[in-house]
Amino acid sequence: MAQRENVHNSVLECIGNTPIVRLNDVASGLESQLFAKLEFMNPGGSVKDRIANFIVEQAESRGEIEPGGTIVEATSGNTGLGLAMAAVLKGYQSVFVMPDKQSMEKVQALRAFGAKVVVTPTAVEPEDPRSYYSVSRRLVEETPNSFYANQYHNPDNPETHYQQTGPEIWRQMAENLDVFIAGMGTGGTLTGVGRYLKEVNPNIQVVGVDPIGSIYYDLFKTGRMSEAYSYSVEGIGEDFLPSTMDLEVLDDVVRVTDRECYLTTRDLVRNEGIFCGGSSGAAVCGALKWLRLNDRPGQQALVLLPDTGRQYLGKIFNDDWMVENGYLESIPGLGTVRELLSRDGHKPVLSAHVGQTVSEVAGLMREHGVSQVPLMSEDGVVGILTEGKVLSRLLDHPGAASDAVDDLAESSYCTVDFNTTVAVLSAMFGRAKMALVLDKGSVVNVITRIDLIDHISKVNQ
Ligand SMILES: Cc1ncc(COP(=O)(O)O)c(C=O)c1O
């Protein structure tokens, strides 16, 4: 009788044995070969399925969690998903504490498994009672029969990778590997995989990738604990040293900016067809930086891609978010405000002044066929006046025609200059009704949404 293939008793058995693929386009120009281990192909969508399942198994074997108990964790999402999945299958409750910078999709995914999620502020010290570390500790103390997975200090986190991921990689690569590169979060991946690989071949280089703003790079290079500052890439970088991170295992650390991480993530999707998240972009970006400095023919390098791109649709894969946050400068071809204005010709700036009456401004709008004008005072822009506001004032208060327009001014405008890209301008139009073009502090032109539509349609003709 034929044997069934790849058929499992539960989804937990599908964890691990993730594929490795060669990166062709993004690694072009290198003498080394760069391979990526697709950890987002785990059933929960990330590398963290591995540690979640192993940590719960170990806790069970030590009697640290009893049937019907509650698993608690401070997590940026992926470990939570793995634990929530294990909890469903093993009959536990789960409660997760997450910092507020994490994407909403991650919170929703945890809730989909029936887990409880507590969101805590990012901008507080780890010792602060509101921090996600403190809140999770308190939850454990207050919840009977609870188990704290504690990925930042649980030795079973690196142990998972030492026992499973490391040997898996070594086997898959047919024992031919020179460099292993991964992002630095709890350090579980680098410590466990790195330790294993060093044991089988001490010449393998183990390289960590750290986002600028995290403490790891300085700590590794100088031994100094620098002050952490904010960065937006999720899942990697820390503001303290978790005991799951053994810096001794590392040969080098490479730094990456948020922008580099996100642009590389987008390259991985568009040029390699690999739909991964921001920390994967970070790891690949770091790998490329390191390999460019240490390239040699035939060198075999492997980078680990921790999670899927699906959780970042509203951020990394959203052009407006990328532009608004300064990660994407321009949509090629749309040019700058200067080009938009030169295409449309230079319109005289029409504006109203504080103290003018509602009927005067209504007359101005009618005469010039415009539906909004900036309201100016001696000191500059006060706001914008829209046809809608003027009309409703006249309808609501029939005697208002002779009132001053001053209190009708709205703040739904943005300011740009000639060099602002049209991509940034269009992102601003998500909220603003009108853009005021400033030159040396004065309003020299105005752009409305219809001007933008006109420009984009002409460019695309
Ligand atoms: C998306 C993502 N990437 C990378 C990592 C880092 O892996 P590790 O914690 O093993 O260092 C994490 C861990 O939190 C993560 O969630």
DSSP labels for 111-165?
A: HHTT-EEEEE-SSS-TTSTTSHHHHHHHHHHHSTTEEE--TTT-THHHHHIIIII
Per-residue pLDDT, 193: 98
User: In a 10 Å sphere around its CB, with 0-12 CB exposed, 13-18 middle and 19+ buried, how is residue 129 labelled?
Assistant: exposed
List C-alpha distances in Å: 275 to 106, 269, 318, 409.
16, 5, 14, 45
Token pair in block for residue 421: 């890209």
Q: Label residue 168 by pLDDT band (50, 70, 90).
A: very high
Q: Is the CB of 311 under 6 A from ligand 1?
A: no
End-to-end CA distance of the chain: 63
Q: For residue 234, how many C-alpha atoms fall within 13 Å in the half-sphere facing its CB?
A: 28
Cβ 373 vs Cβ 448: under 8 Å: no
* Average pLDDT rounded to a whole number, residues 297-302: 98
Q: Is the CB of 372 under 6 A from ligand 1?
A: no
Per-residue pLDDT, 279: 97
Q: What is the pLDDT of residues 397-413, one digit of tens each?
A: 878 889 999 999 988 88
CA of residue 255 relative to chain centroid, distance:
17
Q: Is the CB of 235 under 6 A from ligand 1?
A: yes
Identical fold, 13-41+166-324 and 337-459: no
Per-residue pLDDT, 344: 61
The residue type of 299 is: Q
Residue nearest to atom 1 of ligand 1 (CA): 235
* Average pLDDT rounded to a whole number, residues 435-450: 84
Sequence-ordered list of residues with C-beta below 8 angstroms from that of 151, at least 6 positions apart, any chain:
48, 51, 55, 73, 74, 75, 79, 157, 186, 188, 244
Q: For residue 104, how many C-alpha atoms fall within 13 Å in the half-sphere facing its CB?
A: 3
Highest mean pLDDT among 2-16, 110-124, 130-144: 2-16
Give every strand in the sheet of 413-416, ordered side by side. Answer: 413-416, 434-439, 442-448
| Cα of 378 from ligand 1 centre, angstroms | 54
Cβ 192 vs Cβ 159: under 8 Å: yes
Per-residue pLDDT, 121: 86
Per-residue pLDDT, 197: 98
User: In a 10 Å sphere around its CB, with 0-12 CB exposed, 13-18 middle and 19+ buried, how is residue 204 labelled?
Assistant: buried
Q: Which region among 120-129, 175-184, 396-405 has the lowest average model confidence (pLDDT)?
A: 120-129
Token pair in block for residue 197: 């690989």
Q: Domain 337-459 belongs to what architecture?
A: Roll (3.10)
Per-residue pLDDT, 331: 58
Q: What is the pLDDT of residues 52-78, one digit of tens each?
A: 999 999 999 999 999 999 999 988 689
Q: What is the pLDDT of residues 368-381, one digit of tens each?
A: 888 889 999 888 88
* Average pLDDT rounded to a whole number, residues 312-322: 91
Cβ 372 vs Cβ 434: under 8 Å: yes
Give the total residue count for the chain: 461
Token pair in block for residue 357: 């009456």
Residue with tokens 């909890």: 87
Q: Label residue 136 by pLDDT band (50, 70, 90).
A: confident
| Cα of 353 from ligand 1 centre, angstroms | 56
Q: 37: closest CA among 237, 297, 274, 316?
A: 274
CATH class of the domain defined by 13-41+166-324: alpha beta
The full set of domain ranges for the chain reads 13-41+166-324, 48-148, 337-459
* Average pLDDT rounded to a whole number, residues 238-264: 95
Q: Is the CB of 154 under 6 A from ligand 1?
A: no
Q: Is the pLDDT of residue 336 over 90?
A: no
Annotation says 106 is catalytic: no
| Cα of 47 from ligand 1 centre, angstroms | 8
Per-residue pLDDT, 448: 87
Per-residue pLDDT, 55: 98
Q: 415: closest CA among 380, 385, 391, 388?
A: 380
The atom number, within ligand 1, closest to the CA of 186 reads 9
| Cα of 235 from ligand 1 centre, angstroms | 5
Strands (E), 212-261: 252-256
Q: Domain 48-148 belongs to what architecture?
A: 3-Layer(aba) Sandwich (3.40)
Q: Round to whole Å and give the CA distance between 276 and 423.
A: 25
Q: Label residue 326 by pLDDT band (50, 70, 90).
A: confident
Residue nearest to atom 6 of ligand 1 (CA): 185
The residue type of 459 is: V
Q: Round to whole Å and give the CA distance between 104 and 443.
A: 39
* Average pLDDT rounded to a whole number, residues 198-227: 93
Per-residue pLDDT, 330: 57
Cβ 373 vs Cβ 365: under 8 Å: yes
Residue nearest to atom 3 of ligand 1 (CA): 235
Q: Is the CB of 189 under 6 A from ligand 1?
A: yes
Per-residue pLDDT, 251: 98
pTM of the model: 0.75
Q: Is the CB of 242 under 6 A from ligand 1?
A: no
Q: Is the CB of 451 under 6 A from ligand 1?
A: no
* Average pLDDT rounded to a whole number, residues 353-358: 93
Q: 290: closest CA among 254, 237, 257, 258?
A: 254
The residue type of 179 is: V
Per-residue pLDDT, 107: 86
Q: Is the CB of 236 under 6 A from ligand 1?
A: yes
| Cα of 185 from ligand 1 centre, angstroms | 5
In the chain, the percentage of residues whose pLDDT exceeds 70 is 97
Q: What average pLDDT does the structure give for the chain?
A: 91
Per-residue pLDDT, 425: 81
* Average pLDDT rounded to a whole number, residues 95-103: 82
Per-residue pLDDT, 74: 84
Q: Label residue 229 by pLDDT band (50, 70, 90).
A: confident
Per-residue pLDDT, 323: 86
Say which of 37, 48, 106, 315 is annotated catalytic.
48
Q: Is the CB of 279 under 6 A from ligand 1?
A: yes
* Average pLDDT rounded to a whole number, residues 373-394: 88
Q: Is the CB of 78 under 6 A from ligand 1?
A: yes
| Cα of 342 from ligand 1 centre, angstroms | 48
Q: 184: closest CA among 236, 123, 250, 110?
A: 236
Q: Round to whole Å and give the CA distance between 260 and 222.
A: 24
Mutate which of 78, 110, 258 for ligand 1? The one with the most ligand atoms within 8 Å of its CB, which is 78
Residue nearest to atom 12 of ligand 1 (CA): 235
Per-residue pLDDT, 127: 83
